Chains A and B, each alone.
Chain A
Amino acid sequence: MATIENASYVGANAYEVDPDSYTNRLTVHNAAGDAALVKNLSTGNHATQVTHDGTNGSLLSVPVVNQVMPITLVNNPVGTVDRWIAGRSDADNTYGWISPIRIPTGETMLSLSMTSTGTDDPNDVSMRVYFKKVHILNTSGVLVDEVSMNYASVRTGIEQWNSVWVGTFRSLTADVTRLIGVLYPKGDGFGNDLEEDVFNITVAFSRSVPTRPQSSARTVEPSGATTPNPYTVPTTTVSGSETMNFTDIDSTLVLEDLPITSHLLTTINQNQNALTEYLTGASAGTNNALTLNPSGGAEADSPTQGVFYDHSKSDNSLGRPVDFPVWSEGFGAIDTDFLGIPDYCDDRLSEPPGLSVSGALSNIQVATASVRVPNFPNGGSSLLYGVFAYAVTSAVDVAITAKVQAENLATSTKAVASASGTAAASGGLVVIEVTAIDFWPDVLNKFNIKMDVDSKNTGSGQVRFLGGSLHFRRS
């Protein structure tokens, strides 16, 4: 005796299910086996791992960066501090904004989109900020790819015309950690002040939204139906939650010469009903509500028992781990050699925070990122990574430690996750990766990002925080 489970999809062709065809034992056998295959794929119980990488599972299309910067209106006493200024330096090529990012597996097309000022006078300043580019760098600061930024559209603001600039990469290497930056080439040549305010930056995947009609969920009983819930969805109760109940079908039920029973067909159909709710989150058939019910309801924060296909369990029973961007943000402008701070961002929001003199730092907070976090495994099973970038000018080797600690709204804290990196005596870019960051799944987390700098920090001693990224990985 053995449970019917197909290793790969078999299906049935039109002849097998034609009204005039005979009913082959294997046709029924494979109906049970294919349903079991879907169950095994979606509960992590199959050699093929569905990780939403575009080959096994649809890509998720979650943006990598969605950062906004403040604007202050006229007369604000601290207005200059609160604006992100970027522009063209006379002496150096600069990144007016730069941040670490993780390019998820399967994603090869990225687009950086930026809104800034400078288009109210298209024949003057704006014309010369056309030369912006988007750079992709590896974590050593080596240029990997670049594209020009194109002027995409104009939006009307309260006091000015703002413009949207876009740079698109079409064949990137995926499953890697990179830095992405907006390059402002040096020199203006016209004696003009080529600064602009930056209001927001998005890094997302460059794809057009489909125009083909999409199926929508029927989550309510259609008008005219008289029998509610005519499609049974089998469930079982575990720790107060109604979870999917899939009934395995033994091969002895579909032997040659045995009758095709109601029990057999009903079981396959109800297994499919359970899989439909589990996978889609929509009710089966025309049922007017979901049957699967996690503890506390479908919208509960971090239900102790997940019931849907949401990748929330460390034993993979609700799907395998996936790459998932959470937060990436740039904290300042920097010369392309990562050794100097551009003049245009002096004391502005675009001046990266950090040390401007030699000396040590101990446990100094540089930023708090407050964001909702997916209901993914935490604690010892956490696959939340942090990547943090620094520019250093110390005269000798200096060690930097990046620290991340999650805090919830009740001010409870998780353990500090940390990692160290060393800047060479020549200074430059330092990128530090922190692994296994613990967090509160499903709810808002305040990630307190801190840093240490050891006492070897000498010379001009600049240590500036350029940006950070928090993201989940598949492994």
Chain B
Amino acid sequence: MPSINKVASPVGAALRDSQTANFAEADAELIHTLHGRNRTLCELIKGSSADTTSAPASPLNPSGFTGIDHSGPPWGICIRHPLCYFSSYYDATNFVNQRAPIISALSTEELLFEVRFFVKPFPSSVRNTPYSKGFLFWTIENTSGAGSTGVTAEILDVRGEDTIVSSAITETVAASTKTSYEETSDPIPLSPGFNHFKIKMDSASYNVRLHEFSINQIKKVSH
């Protein structure tokens, strides 16, 4: 004989206030929904079937598992973290090979990154879900001592031919300063799994050093 499983309800199921109010109809659906929601909520937190005699009744999360994986509503609010990074440091100490790459001011010479990184699976069907956009952070040092320069980052497709982010990210770096910029506009569109594109950085007037950059997931619920 097959086992009789515990009742379940969809993730979005709920009872309206009017259904549980005084003088509301004593519908069996009320108790069914209360128990069904409990099963779903229990599976979301446990990450496995609430009822040990049967498979999970709730849908898989974007990672392919049962439960909250913090990939964005309805799978839990996101936890902010970096999506990819390049780190370095440069000063004039007795270290060997301490470095930070140069972003050249010559128009024929750009600093280029072929960026390929893995973004944890997220509910891409939810519009403006947090993981759908990444934001650039960079630290730039203008060592020229001669004047400020505009530094630009463009997000290109993997062949470097088409611009993905239409308005280039530009900052002005004052002479003899090292400045960090956390961009809050011009997000980079992202997909679940591997993302592959190029970042081209150039400087308008003087050579500058790129000390570090990262692309970060900066939202919790929605953009």
Contact = CB atoms under 8 A, between A and B. Distances in A.
Nearest to B49: A9
Interface string A28-45: 101100110110011000
Given A351-B97, A365-B89, A57 B73 contact: no
Contact of A66 (B37, B83, B93, B102): B83
Contacts of B59: 212-215
Contacts of A268: 34
Given A61-B121, A279-B76, A217 B126 contact: yes
Interface string B84-117: 1111110101111111011010101111111111
A52 B120 CA distance: 15
Interface of A: 9, 11-19, 21, 23, 27-28, 30-31, 34-35, 37-38, 41-42, 50, 52, 54-63, 66-78, 81-82, 113, 115, 155-158, 162, 164, 199-200, 202, 204, 207-210, 212-219, 230-232, 260, 262, 265-266, 268-269, 272-273, 275-276, 279-282, 284-286, 290, 298-299, 308-311, 324-327, 329, 332, 347, 349, 351-356, 359, 361, 364-375, 409, 442, 444, 446
Contact of A68 (B84, B110, B222): B84
Contacts of A15: 4
Given A209-B64, A309-B68, 11 more contacts: A15-B4, A38-B42, A41-B46, A69-B113, A70-B111, A72-B109, A77-B102, A217-B12, A352-B97, A368-B211, A374-B79
Contacts of A215: 10-12, 58-59, 74
Interface stretch (B24-32, B142-150, B169-177): B24-32
B63 A216 contact: no
A372 B42 contact: no
Nearest to B111: A70
A41 B43 CA distance: 11
Nearest to A302: B80
B32 to A, nearest CB: 4
A67 B85 contact: yes
Per DSSP, are chain B's interface residues mostly helix, strand or loop, or mixed?
loop
Interface of B: 4-7, 10-24, 26-28, 30-35, 37-39, 41-42, 44-48, 50-51, 58-77, 79-89, 91, 93-99, 101-102, 104, 106, 108-121, 123, 125-126, 137, 139, 158-160, 180, 182, 192-194, 196, 198, 210-214, 216-222
Given A262-B21, A353-B96, A66 B38 contact: no
A299 B87 contact: no
Given A66-B84, A282-B74, A214 B123 contact: yes
Nearest to A283: B73
Contact of A371 (B4, B82, B126, B160): B82
A353 B112 contact: no
A216 B126 contact: yes
B81 A202 contact: no
Contacts of A63: 117-120
Contacts of B80: 372-375, 442
Contact of A269 (B14, B99, B114): B14
A265 B37 CA distance: 13
A347 B96 CA distance: 9
Contact of A70 (B4, B34, B113): B113
B113 A38 contact: no
A13 B20 contact: no
